[in-house]
Amino acid sequence: MDLEERPDGTIVTPIGWVLIVVGIIGAFIGATSETITGLVIGLVLANLGFGLGVLLLALGYLVRAVWFLPGREIPKRQLQPTSDVQKGACGWCGRTPAAGSPCSQIAPEKLHALSARISNPVCKDQLSRRGYAIGAVE
């Protein structure tokens, strides 16, 4: 759902009506059955259909009534970037990492610890040129 879109109960209301119809069909099955199994199945369908159908209808109409009151505005949320989001291009190789920070923006103490886990050949080469990695790609 879009952040600008108001909920209006259009999803749960039709499902509620379908369940009411299932409840009516279950009541007919229970009323016309000649065995105890048919009666039980009909009563279960009728109870579930009517119960859940009325619940979903009430929920759909309640959402519609609350969200469309005059003067009620939905505040617009600002999407804040998380700390895992890329922070730009690397100052050493010019590449933009898919996740995390570029190597040129990481503190030197952390780079020594991270250099063993980096598997990208370009990154390994850049790190070895600066004295951070062992076994760089030639």
pLDDT digits (tens, 9 = 90+) for 43-60: 999 999 999 999 988 888
Q: 96-121: per-residue pLDDT in tens? A: 766 667 777 777 777 777 777 777 78
Domain that includes residue 116, residue range: 87-138
Total number of domains constituting the chain: 2
Q: Are residues 95 and 127 in the same domain?
A: yes
**Helix 12-32 crosses helix 36-67 at what angle (to 10 degrees)?**
160
Look up the pTM and report it: 0.44
Residue 91 and residue 62 share a domain? no
Q: Does residue 25 belong to any structural domain of this protein?
A: yes
| 26 and 42 Cβ atoms separated by less than 8 Å | yes
Distance CA 100, CA 106 (A): 10
Q: 100 and 59 in one domain?
A: no
Q: Is the pLDDT of residue 75 over 80?
A: no
The verdict on residue 31 lying in a domain is yes
Residue 26 domain-assigned (yes or no): yes
